């Protein structure tokens, strides 16, 4: 995750990079396609003016937990972005809005979004963000980083020429086309017979 083991509360987990209480400091996070940032816990110290920056893809969300109605009253989450347009705000006044969802607003991998939390009472700080959800290509509940068969086609990734494509497992002639879709699976100069 880019954070040295001495400062990382989870040194064996590449999904974590924030540790300890941080007051008035900006943090950076990057997540891959299909990922989201969830269960961002805020507790302990003042978060006024803290900035959270990250490159997030379509469908990502920033979620706040463990707030009381009094904590949320008057607070707001403002977001702005570079590379694609204007920002906006999500109002957290309603105590039922313990999740601040920003779905579908980022569409390109190069886009960057910044979050600024305003108006929270003192007594809050970012202490952990250890639930960054990684890509799970086959949707089996095991993230690709830990999944021995990312596409769930029954062939382990180490033996699968196409570990993210459940329709292909081998490329006998090494031409880049899987044997299932290759009209000439043993001829590296041919892949199709259009006539």
Q: Give the whole-angstrom CA distance, residue 62 versus residue 42.
A: 12
**Domain coordinates of the chain in residue numbers?**
20-133, 139-195
Residue with tokens 């041919």: 190
Q: What is the pLDDT of residue 146?
A: 78
SS3 assignment, position 186: coil
For residue range 125-183, what is the model confidence (pLDDT) as tens digits? 333 333 333 466 787 877 677 789 989 999 999 999 999 899 999 999 999 999 999 99
Q: Which two tokens stand for residue 136?
A: 């799970």
d(CA 44, CA 40): 13
pLDDT of residue 12: 53
pLDDT tens across 45-62, in order? 233 333 333 333 223 334
Q: How far apart are CA 108 and CA 51, in angstroms?
A: 21
* Mean pLDDT of the region 82-90: 37
pLDDT at 147 (0 to 100):
85
* Percent of the residues in the chain that have a pLDDT greater than 70, as a whole number: 29
Question: Which are the contacts of 131, defined by CB distance < 8 A and separation ≥ 6?
Answer: 15, 37, 38, 39
Residues with Cβ within 8 Å of 75's Cβ and at least 6 positions away in sequence, in order, are 92, 93, 117, 118, 119, 120
pTM of the predicted structure, to 2 decimals: 0.36
């Amino acid at each position: 995750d880019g954070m040295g083991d001495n400062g990382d509360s989870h040194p064996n987990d590449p999904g974590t990079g924030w540790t300890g209480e941080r007051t008035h400091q900006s943090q950076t996070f990057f997540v891959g396609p299909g990922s989201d940032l969830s269960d961002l816990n805020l507790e302990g110290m003042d978060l006024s003016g803290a900035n959270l920056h990250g490159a997030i893809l379509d469908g990502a969300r920033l979620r706040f937990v463990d707030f009381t109605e009094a904590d949320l009253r008057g607070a707001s989450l403002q977001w702005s972005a570079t590379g694609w347009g204007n920002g906006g705000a999500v109002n957290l006044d309603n105590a039922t809005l313990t999740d601040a969802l920003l779905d579908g607003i980022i569409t390109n991998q190069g886009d960057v979004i910044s979050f600024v939390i305003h108006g929270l009472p003192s007594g809050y700080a970012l202490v952990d963000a250890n639930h960054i959800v990684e890509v799970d290509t086959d949707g089996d509940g095991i993230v690709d980083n830990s999944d021995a068969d990312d596409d769930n086609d029954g062939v382990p990734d180490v033996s699968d020429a196409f570990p993210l494509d459940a329709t292909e497992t081998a490329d006998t002639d090494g031409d880049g086309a899987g044997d299932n879709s290759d009209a000439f699976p043993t001829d590296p100069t041919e892949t199709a017979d259009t006539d």
